[in-house]
């Protein structure tokens, strides 16, 4: 059974704080993705990684950075959190041989 886990389900941070969101997958896949989900806007791709230490910007990378030091782990970093980054953050990774992406449970981040 494929598994994508995220470090926190709920997080409350203050404006200006540095925030780390971690994602771990056990599918031994090269590709991992970070999305944010907002009402009326759906899921939007922030960053993705296609190998260790490799990363590509998605559709809305501003205000975010990522780190991929190990194949199974992909971190999303908010360098200086702002209130407009309050959102649901979802990590995803595909199964080994398909286009099917599997999602983690999500981290609901509130920035006050």
Partner 1 sequence: QKEVEQDPGPLSVPEGAIVSLNCTYSNSAFQYFMWYRQYSRKGPELLMYTYSSGNKEDGRFTAQVDKSSKYISLFIRDSQPSDSATYLCAMSEVNTGFQKLVFGTGTRLLVSP
Footprint of partner 1 on this chain (CB under 8 A)?
4, 31, 33, 40-43, 45, 48, 50, 56, 58, 90, 94, 98-106, 108
- Min CB(28)–partner 1 separation in Å: 15
- Min CB(52)–partner 1 separation in Å: 15
Task: Between 61 and 102, name the residue whose CB sits nearer to partner 1.
Answer: 102
- Min CB(62)–partner 1 separation in Å: 18
Task: Between 15 and 95, name the residue whose CB sits nearer to partner 1.
Answer: 95
Phi, psi torsion values for 85, nearest 5 degrees: -100, 5
Q: Which two tokens stand for residue 25?
A: 């997958």
Task: Give the list of residues 6+ apart from residue 2 with CB closer than 8 angstroms, or none.
Answer: 25, 26, 27, 95, 102
């Amino acid at each position: 059974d494929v598994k994508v886990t995220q470090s926190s389900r709920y997080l409350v941070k203050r404006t200006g704080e540095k925030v780390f969101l971690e994602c771990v997958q056990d599918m031994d896949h090269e590709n991992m993705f970070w999305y944010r989900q907002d009402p009326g806007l759906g899921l939007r791709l922030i960053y993705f990684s296609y190998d260790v230490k490799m990363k590509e910007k998605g559709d809305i990378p501003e205000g975010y950075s990522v780190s991929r030091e190990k194949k199974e782990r992909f971190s999303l970093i908010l360098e200086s959190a702002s209130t407009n980054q309050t959102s649901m953050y979802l990590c995803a990774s595909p199964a080994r041989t398909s286009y099917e992406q599997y999602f983690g449970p999500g981290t609901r981040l509130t920035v006050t």
